[in-house]
Amino acid sequence: MNERSVSVGQSILAESASRAEEFRARMTEAGTFVVNLMSSPGSGKTSLLEATAQRLGDTYRLACLVGDIATNRDSDRLRRYMPAVQLTTGGACRLEPPLVEAGFQKLGLDQPADFLFIENVGNLVCPASFDLGEHMRIVVLAVTEGDDKPSKYPKAFRTSTACVLSKIDLLPYVPFQIDSAIADARSIRPDLEFFPLSAISGKGLDFWLNALIHYRNSRILNGCTK
């Protein structure tokens, strides 16, 4: 790679970072707490958002943007519970700020949301490199994926505030040690918080929901920094 191509790449990343910063500032101003969910395909992001919206939707104004390479399947699922816009990337392995801004416009909200959830494209690699203007990044790791994954995909865990350990109803059937997964992830990010839960059985959801509300209150109402 020559010097010129490096500087072009740097300027694109710098522009993306500054757009993300502007979006975050706008959302903070509006009282909207933005959560970016990342995981491998099928770890349970949409199911977690369905379960979350079913429980928070009566008290809070919710909205979501859903990234996928193709199809509107996830936004069709989530629109039953909250305004949802599908962001189809046409092949790109992650969301980027311009697509998030366009999707947010398309939501056409009459009133600002209290929570804006962004479900990233199913992938533990590329999404980790792009700030979307979120206040909080969550990595979801399903117990079916193996407890050795954090160190294999370190950036996703290093850049996240918390980790949802999903599908814990399947723990009796898979060789997944929660303590090992936590130790592995904390070797990368010592302050990572964990939420073991099942979107199907509902176990662990209350702890997750209370934490989400607490994070929003700290950041939006009390103005804590990221």
Ligand X SMILES: Nc1nc2c(ncn2[C@@H]2O[C@H](COP(=O)(O)OP(=O)(O)OP(=O)(O)O)[C@@H](O)[C@H]2O)c(=O)[nH]1
List contacts with ligand X (CB under 6 A).
Answer: 39, 41-47, 74, 122, 166-167, 169-170, 198-200
**All residues at 6 or more sequence positions from 4 whose CB lies less than 8 Å from its CB, including other chains:** none
Could you say which of ligand X, Mg ion, none residue 198 binds, taking C-beta under 5 to 8 angstroms by partner kind? Answer: ligand X
Torsion sign across C-alpha atoms 31, 209, 43, 40: positive
The residue with its CB nearest to ligand X is: 122
Distance CA 96, CA 89 (A): 9
Which residues in 72-91 contact Mg ion (CB under 5 A)?
74
Find the shortest distance in angstroms from Cβ 196 to Mg ion.
20
Cβ count within 10 A of residue 109:
14
Q: Is 44 helix (H, G, I), strand (E, B) or coil?
A: coil
Concatenating the DSSP letter of every residue in 195-219 gives: EE--TTT-TTHHHHHHHHHHHHIII
Phi, psi of 166 (to 5 degrees): -95, 165
Q: Interacting stretch for Mg ion, rule CB under 5 A, among 32-40, 52-60, 68-76, 151-159? A: 68-76
50 interacts with Mg ion by CB under 5 A: no
The residue with its CB nearest to Mg ion is: 46
Could you say which of Mg ion, ligand X, none residue 161 binds, taking C-beta under 5 to 8 angstroms by partner kind? Answer: none
Find the shortest distance in angstroms from Cβ 4 to ligand X.
36
Binding interface with Mg ion (CB under 5 A):
45-46, 74
